[in-house]
Structure 1
Amino acid sequence: MSSPVLEKPANSETTYVILYNVSWEQLEQLNVALLGTSARLTYLDGILEIMSPLSDDHEDNKKTLAMLLEAYMRAKKIRFYGRGSATIGQKEDKTRREPDESYNLGTKKPIPDLILEITVTSGGINKLEIYQRLRVPEVWFWQDGLLSIYCLQGDSYIKVTQSSLLPDLNLNLLAQYARMADQYDAVNEYSQIISKTE
C-alpha cells in the first residue's frame, strides 16, 4: 500500500489540504481519526481533500439559501425531505462527499435529487465529478452572491438558467433574497412574496 502524498499544505489563505494516493482503507482510518474536529472529507479516485471547519460566512449563506428554498417548496406544496450534509458515496464509486445541503423531492431516496454547495474557496476536488458518478439530478453552486445551476443530462452536467426540478422557481428572486444581510427579514419577505403568487 502506497503512502499518501501531501500536495498542498495549509497556510493562512488555504482552508483545505489535498492528499494523493489515499486508499479507501486509509480514508476510513482518517475519518475515524478526525471525528469531532469538524473537518470535512471529500474523496475521488484516491485523492482526498480535507477541509477545515467552515467559516461563519459559509454557514450563514448555506442556511439562508436553504431556508429560502424550503419556504418556496412549502408555499408551493412541493413534498421534500431535507438530508442536510449526510455523507454520500461509496468504495465502488471511489467517491465520498458531504454536501453542504441536500434534498429529496417527492419521496425519500438513497441519493439526493438536489444538492446545494456554497463555494467560498476555489480549487480542490471537482465536486461535480463526484455527483455525476452518483447520478445526482441537480446541483446548485452559490458563489459571490450568484447561483449556478447544473442539471444531469445523460452522463454529464449541463449549466442551465432554470431548475429542471423546480421549473417555476424564479432563481433571480431567490438569489436576491439570499444576498440580503438579515436572514430573518430575507426569509419573511420572500415567504410573503411567494405566497402572493400562488
Structure 2
Amino acid sequence: MVTLQLNQLSVPPGQRLLLRDISWQAFEDILAELGDHRASRLAYSNGTLEIRMPLPEHEKAKVIIGDLLKALLDELDMDWESFGSTTFKRQDMGYGIEPDDCFYIQNQAQMIGKKRLDLSIDPPPDLAIEVDVTSKTQVSAYEALGVPEIWRYDDGKLQINVLRGGAYVESATSPTFPMLPLTDALIQFLDVSSTEGTRPALRAFRKWVREQTDR
C-alpha cells in the first residue's frame, strides 16, 4: 500500500480530486490539517471525499450572487447572518459539505455570534449558493443535512432548488422571496456586473427591487 501525505497532493484550479474509502476520522483529520484559510472546497459523502479547486470565474460568480442576495435582503429590510463556506457536517449521517456561500435568514437570530456549529443542535443554513463550474453540487449532502433552499448557478443559468419531502425540486420562485422573479433577474444583473462592474450592477439591482416591491 502506498501512503501519500496531503502536501504531496496538488489540485490545479478547475480540477477536482476524489478519494475513496475515507473514514470519518480521516475526513476530520484532513479538515484540521488543511485548516480554514484555503482556496479548496471539500465535500464528504459516506466514505468518498471530493477536493475541488475553484476557478476565478467560479469565485467571481459566487461573490456577485452573494452580494446581490445581501442587497435584496437589505432592500426588503430582512436580517441575515452569512456563514460563507463553513464546513457543515454530521457524522451520524456521513455527510459533510462546504457551500460556496450560505445564509441564515429565517433562523438568523439564533445564529448571531455563533463561532462553532453543531448540526445535531443548530439548524442548517436556510439558503445555500453553489456555482457549478468545477464540479456539480452534491445535492445528497444538502438533502441529508436538511438545507431548505439552494441557488445553483451553472452555464449562465440560475436554478432554485427547494427541499420538499426530503428531496430537491426545481422551483420557479424562491420561497424566501416568492414575490420576485429572481431566476431571470439575478442572471440579468450578474451579466451587468461583467460588463459595467459590480457597483453599477448592485445599484441597478437595488432600483429593480424597489420597483418590484412598490407595485
TM-score per shorter chain, which class?
0.7 to 0.9
2:100–2:130 CA contact under 8 A, matched in 1:
yes
| CA-atom RMSD in angstroms | 2.2
Instruction: Summarize deviations over 1:73-126 as a string: whole Å, max 9, x none.
Output: 111122222121111112111111110111111333531011000111235xx5
Within a 5 Å distance, the mapping from 1:46-195 to structure 2 comes to 46-52=47-53, 54-108=54-108, 110-123=123-136, 127-171=138-182, 172-180=184-192, 181=194, 182-195=197-210
Can you give the 5+ residue segments of structure 2 that lack an aligned partner in the other structure? 112-122
Alpha-carbon distance in 1 for matches of 2:189, 2:176: 20
Percent identity over paired residues:
28
Counterpart contact for 2:20–2:48, Cα < 8 Å = yes
Normalising by structure 1, report the TM-score.
0.86
| Pair 1:34 & 2:30 matched | no
8 Å CA contact retained: 1:23, 1:46? yes
Q: 1:9-64 deviations in whole A, cap 9, x for unaligned?
A: 97868511001100011112222232354322110000000112x22211111111
- Distance in structure 2 (CA, Å) of the matches to 1:106 and 1:159: 21
**Any unmatched runs of 5+ in structure 1?**
none
Instruction: Figure out how many residues of one structure are paired with residues of the other and give that number.
Output: 189
* Whole-angstrom distance in 1 between the partners of 2:13 and 2:105: 37
Instruction: Label 1:107 to 1:24 Cα distance change in 2 as closer, same or farther (>3 A).
Output: same
* Deviation by residue 1:127-177 (Cα, 9 ceiling, x = unmatched): 210000011111110011210111111111111111122111221112210
List structure 1 segments (4+ residues) > 4 angstroms apart after TM superposition: 9-14
Q: Partner letter of residue 112 of structure 1?
A: P
